[in-house]
């Protein structure tokens, strides 16, 4: 249930996720919330980062996701689905609710001021940061559904079937919609290149 | 990760080439690096979450909890049906009157999870360190509601090594007003009473409101209060430390503010509370900045209305779903009285 599945594409990113998950016990044996946190934090953080504009927002929302998960951890029922689908469903709803609220009430900068600004992580190269900035920039131009699909596929490394579970879509519909979203994102990258 | 590494997804302009370009771009997306969290954030969030684990996870499992509750609930339902019939007749008779409901009587049965026993309101007041309050008014439509209440655990375990221990209240009283005959779309109420170590400051700059759909400063019981509506909001208050009290100091460089989730209570009818109170960054320990956060839960998924006020050092939070009018909620808040039964 906790095995990491994808659409057959093995990548460095996926291998890193899988390596973290392989050392974990099955969800039924999670003795405490810490194991769940350790196993899925990188993917949750990456997924949320695909969905929001900045690190502060991402940290805030990731904290909220795990707070909600902790509050409901005892209620998780493995018969209804995998724990990772359960957690990403919480993450999905958290982001959706955030944007609904955000659109009605633009945020102040207060939260950013509350947090201490940290230096960038030393292992991130300039080109990587630039590429990720481009990704975020272009994702911000996309529609909500497209961003969600891309975040779940490439941020969370979910399979099409798992995406369907979170978004309540059929697997075939996910495949079609995701393909179109990727194509649109590619064209945004291309358009950006052409304006340089 | 230079753009030269993934030229394959660029053009030319025909359908087959488009497909190939998309496939190449998919490969590019697969190979993008992760957005990586700051290690400090990850570590401190973990520490903060696991501080609450002893409270949250040590509760009985969902299944066992409901099996334990099912019997008294069925008894209550049976009793409620009878009472509801009587109440219905009375309601018809006094339809035009506003009812003052003696809900305070129900505080005879405050559940104490520490002793796993019911205590009366005097004992509850001793445990809380302040007199218990209850609304003396509920709208006529809610006349069949009963009060279920519980004290939060006495000790909030704080093993956080990144922030000093919280000066959490000795106890929090959590109250739910629950229809005796549960049905969909019936109004839901929850009340929280909490002794806090600070006096909240009301100015044009305090509180700062984040994410609320609606926010109105109001007067409640003659003191400054606030009406907040929304699913997920945060109020950040300026505050003065009460004499002899302490509040957690944020460790220099800590990525996560010190937070104190109000201890969760799992007693009949009560659910883990949606509030988190904590201290945000502030350079002055005597005038800390305090945040009160409302997190969405299933119960309040459609949004909630909350009235917040502080009186005699006690922080009150009255929460209702959207079916209660603003005026009714204000009237309920204004009707709070100390009980000493």
Name every residue whose Cβ is closer than 8 Å to that of residue B235 and which is 6 or more positions away in sequence. B207, B208, B209, B210, B212, B226, B228, B291, B292, B293, B308
Asked if the C-beta of B231 comes within 8 angstroms of chain A's C-beta atoms, the answer is yes
Give pLDDT tens digits for B227-240: 999 877 778 788 88
Confidence of residue B77 (pLDDT cuts 50, 70, 90): low
The nearest alpha carbon in chain B to A66 belongs to B49
Confidence of residue B69 (pLDDT cuts 50, 70, 90): very low
Distance from CA of A186 to the nearest CA of B (A): 7
Do the beta carbons of residue A118 and residue B40 sit within 8 Å? yes
Q: Within 13 Å of residue B291, how many CA atoms lie on the same side as its CB?
A: 24
Name every residue whose Cβ is closer than 8 Å to that of residue B340 and which is 6 or more positions away in sequence. B121, B122, B125, B131
More confident residue, A46 or B136: A46
Other Cβ atoms less than 10 A from the Cβ of B32: the count is 21
Residues in B touching A154 (Cβ below 8 Å): 29-30, 32
Whether B56 sits inside 8 A of A132 (CB atoms) is no
**Shortest CB distance from A66 goes to which of B10, B29, B49?**
B49
Residue B222 in this model has a pLDDT that exceeds 90: yes
User: How many Å apart are CA B171 and CA B169, to the nearest integer?
Assistant: 5
Distance from CA of B29 to the nearest CA of A (A): 7
What backbone phi and psi angles, to 5 degrees, belong to A41?
A: -55, -50
Using left for φ > 0, alpha for ψ between -120 and 50, and beta otherwise, residue B86 falls in alpha
List Cβ<8 Å contacts ≥24 apart for B90-95.
B91/B140, B91/B143, B95/B140
pLDDT at residue number A183: 92
Give pLDDT tens digits for A82-103: 888 889 999 999 988 888 766 5
Residues in B touching A124 (Cβ below 8 Å): 33, 36
Whether B45 sits inside 8 A of A63 (CB atoms) is yes
Give pLDDT tens digits for A109-130: 323 322 322 333 332 344 566 6
Q: Which helix (H) or strand (E) holds B210?
A: strand B208-210
Whether B272 sits inside 8 A of A71 (CB atoms) is yes
Which residues of chain B from 279 to 298 reach within 8 Å of chain A, CB to CB? Answer: 280-281, 289, 295-298
Confidence of residue A176 (pLDDT cuts 50, 70, 90): very high
Give pLDDT tens digits for B106-139: 565 677 766 777 777 777 777 777 888 888 888 7
ipTM over 0.95: no
More confident residue, B310 or B20: B310
Structure tokens, A192: 């950006």
Q: For tokens 């950013």, name the residue.
A: A112
DSSP class of B98: P
pLDDT at residue number B244: 77
Whether B34 sits inside 8 A of A116 (CB atoms) is no
Q: For tokens 């008894």, name the residue.
A: B75
| A161 three-class SS | helix
Residues in B touching A116 (Cβ below 8 Å): 253-255, 281
* Mean pLDDT computed over every residue of chain B: 69
Antiparallel, parallel or unpaired: β B189-195 and B172-179: antiparallel
Q: Where is mean pLDDT largest: B214-223, B230-239, B240-249, B256-265?
A: B214-223
């Amino acid at each position: 249930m906790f095995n990491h599945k994808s659409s057959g594409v093995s990548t460095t990113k996926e291998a890193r996720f899988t390596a973290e998950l392989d050392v974990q016990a099955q969800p039924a044996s999670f003795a405490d919330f810490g194991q769940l946190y350790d196993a899925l934090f990188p993917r949750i953080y990456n997924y949320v980062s695909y969905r929001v504009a900045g690190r502060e927002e991402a940290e805030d929302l990731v904290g909220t996701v795990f707070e909600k998960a902790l509050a409901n951890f005892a209620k998780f029922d493995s018969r209804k689905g995998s724990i990772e689908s359960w957690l990403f469903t919480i993450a999905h709803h958290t982001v959706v609710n955030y944007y609904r609220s955000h659109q009605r009430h633009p945020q102040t900068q207060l939260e950013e001021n509350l947090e201490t600004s940290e230096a960038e992580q030393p292992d991130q190269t300039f080109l990587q940061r630039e590429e990720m900035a481009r990704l975020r920039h272009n994702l911000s131009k996309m529609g909500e559904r497209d961003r969600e699909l891309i975040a779940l596929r490439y941020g969370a490394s979910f399979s099409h079937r798992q995406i369907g579970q979170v978004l309540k879509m059929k697997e075939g519909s996910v495949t079609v919609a995701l393909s179109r979203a990727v194509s649109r994102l590619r064209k945004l990258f291309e358009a950006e290149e052409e304006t340089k | 990760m230079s753009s030269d590494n993934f030229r394959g997804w660029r053009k030319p302009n025909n359908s087959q080439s488009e497909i190939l370009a998309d496939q190449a771009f998919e490969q590019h997306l697969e190979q993008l690096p992760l957005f990586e969290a700051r290690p400090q954030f990850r570590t401190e969030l973990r520490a903060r979450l696991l501080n609450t684990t002893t409270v949250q996870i040590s509760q009985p499992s969902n299944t066992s909890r409901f099996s334990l509750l099912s019997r008294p609930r069925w008894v209550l339902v049976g009793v409620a049906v009878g009472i509801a019939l009587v109440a219905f007749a009375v309601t018809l008779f006094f339809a035009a009157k506003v009812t003052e409901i003696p809900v305070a009587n129900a505080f005879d049965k405050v559940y104490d999870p520490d002793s796993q026993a019911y205590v009366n309101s005097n004992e509850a007041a001793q445990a809380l360190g302040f007199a218990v309050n209850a609304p003396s008014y509920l709208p006529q439509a809610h006349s069949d509601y009963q009060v279920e209440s519980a004290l939060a655990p006495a000790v909030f375990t704080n093993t956080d090594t990144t922030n000093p221990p919280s000066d959490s209240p000795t106890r929090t009283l959590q109250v739910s007003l629950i229809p005796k005959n549960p049905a969909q779309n019936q109004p839901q109420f929850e009340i929280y009473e909490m002794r806090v170590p600070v006096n909240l400051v009301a100015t044009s700059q305090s509180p700062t409101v984040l994410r609320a759909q609606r926010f109105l400063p109001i007067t409640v019981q003659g003191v400054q209060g606030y009406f907040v509506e929304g699913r997920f909001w945060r109020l950040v208050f300026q505050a003065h430390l009460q004499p002899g009290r302490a509040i957690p100091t944020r460790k220099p460089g800590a990525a996560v503010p010190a937070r104190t989730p109000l201890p969760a209570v799992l007693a009949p009818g009560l659910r883990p509370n949606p509030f988190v109170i904590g201290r945000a960054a502030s350079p002055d320990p005597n005038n800390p900045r305090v945040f009160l956060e409302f997190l969405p839960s299933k119960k309040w998924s459609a949004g909630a209305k909350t009235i917040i006020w502080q009186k005699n050092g006690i922080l009150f939070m009255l929460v209702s779903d959207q079916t209660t009018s603003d005026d009714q909620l204000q009237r309920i808040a204004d009707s709070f009285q100390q009980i000493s039964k």
